[in-house]
């Protein structure tokens, strides 16, 4: 199907973009990998598209104050291949490399992915495990939100009217931390049936810190705090990993669709949590 008629603009600075987004019927266009198909299916019919692609201020990766700041229009391929991200925050580069195929990674952006809030998207699991922040800007000001507060529900975020994502902020990883992103993918699209990101630090032979983000299992990505608590303080043996991973789906209202039933997704979540924890532990220094 062909999308409904719309106005198109491509401002070259953030101020103009924010002014143009003040209208009720305006929507941001980034990589177009999710929005354009929705428009073609007429599930979205914005009257105006404001393309962020020409705003140089939104495409960057730099290190500042112990964190990496990644501009909203940074593509998945730029994240995956950035030497800075690979060395300072390898979990994010690993998650980016799992997204779709090379065409999608060349066009799709980190801001577009998290704004779309697909419950099967890859970045959310990694960003939750990383305890990232999202930097938002609107004509009336700016604010930073912890990533856990940004994802509200399926395809729903905390973005307000006229507000856009400016950057994603992730802490620079302590070199002794081990990380891993493991995913069972839906072969046609690459989206996660279940994806698990793990981030682990050891001290004195024990797991001192564990962070686990899960995507694909339920309506929105979440931090598996029960798994984290079960693993912390243990020696991280295979039995410890198995016991911790066993609780990942407890109390979770699991998705069920033509790709995987709720029970199968819960099973996959336990298996992929075990894998992510084991690999992350093997990468700790
Ligand atoms: C074939 C295919 C396979 C895919 N496989 C995967 C996969 O395996 N894993 C995965 O995670 N994703 C996958 N995706 C989705 C892909 O990652 C998209 O790039 C992403 O969901 C949307 O990013 P975008 O830059 O294309 O955003 P767009 O499609 O341009 O926009 C998406 C939404 O975000 C809003 N938006 C965009 N940028 C901003 C911003 N800066 N501030 C506020 N709102 C904004 C738009 O208004 C729109 O509502 C796949 C997509 C396709 C087409």
Going by C-beta distance under 8 Å and a sequence separation of 6 or more, which residues neighbour residue 261?
none
pLDDT value at residue 14: 97
Residue nearest (by alpha carbon) to ligand 1 atom 37: 112
Placement of tokens 């009336």 in the chain: 140
The Cα-based distances of 222 to 61, 68, 198, 253 in angstroms read 25, 22, 12, 12
Ligand 1 geometric centre to CA of 33 (Å): 5
**Ligand 1, pocket-test mutation among 106, 108, 135, most atoms within 8 A of CB:** 108
* CA atoms within 13 A of residue 8's CA, in its CB half-sphere: 10
What is the C-alpha separation between 35 and 31, in angstroms, rounded?
8
Ligand 1 geometric centre to CA of 29 (Å): 9
pLDDT value at residue 142: 96
The torsion angle over the Cα atoms of residues 20, 21, 22 and 24, rounded to 10 degrees, is 120
Ligand 1 geometric centre to CA of 241 (Å): 33
Ligand 1 geometric centre to CA of 117 (Å): 8
- Which of 82, 80, 62 is CA-nearest to residue 71? 62
Divide the 285 residues of the chain into consecutive groups of 10 and give the mean pLDDT of each group. Answer: 92 96 92 96 94 97 96 98 97 98 97 98 98 96 97 97 97 94 94 98 97 98 98 98 98 96 98 98 96
Q: Is the separation of the CB atoms in 97 and 169 below 8 Å?
A: no
- Which of 98, 7, 20 is CA-nearest to residue 52? 20
pTM of the predicted model as reported, rounded to 2 decimal places:
0.97
pLDDT value at residue 121: 98
């Amino acid at each position: 199907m062909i999308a409904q008629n719309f106005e198109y603009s491509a401002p070259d600075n953030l101020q103009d973009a924010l002014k143009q987004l003040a209208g009720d019927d305006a929507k941001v266009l980034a990589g177009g990998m999710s929005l354009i198909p929705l428009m073609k299916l007429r599930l979205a019919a914005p009257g105006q598209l404001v393309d962020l692609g020409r705003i140089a201020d939104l495409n960057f990766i730099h290190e500042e104050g112990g964190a990496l700041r990644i501009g909203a229009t940074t593509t998945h391929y730029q994240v995956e291949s950035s030497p800075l991200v690979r060395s300072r925050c390898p979990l994010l580069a690993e998650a980016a490399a799992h997204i779709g195929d090379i065409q999608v990674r060349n066009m799709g952006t980190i801001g577009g992915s998290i704004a779309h809030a697909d419950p099967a998207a890859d970045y959310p699991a990694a960003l939750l495990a990383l305890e990232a922040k999202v930097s938002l800007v609107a004509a009336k000001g700016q604010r930073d939100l912890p990533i856990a507060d940004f994802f509200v529900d399926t395809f729903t975020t905390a973005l307000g009217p006229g507000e856009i994502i400016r950057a994603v902020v992730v802490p620079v990883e302590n070199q002794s931390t081990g990380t891993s992103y493991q995913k069972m993918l839906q072969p046609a699209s690459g989206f996660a049936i279940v994806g698990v990101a793990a981030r682990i630090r050891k001290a004195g032979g024990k797991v001192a810190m564990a962070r686990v983000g899960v995507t694909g299992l339920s309506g929105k990505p979440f931090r598996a705090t029960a798994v984290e608590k079960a693993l912390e303080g243990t020696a991280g043996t295979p039995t410890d990993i198995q016991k911790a991973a066993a609780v990942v789906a407890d109390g979770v209202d699991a998705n069920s669709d033509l790709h995987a039933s709720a029970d199968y997704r819960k099973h996959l979540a336990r298996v992929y949590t075990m894998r992510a924890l084991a690999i992350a532990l093997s990468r700790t220094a």
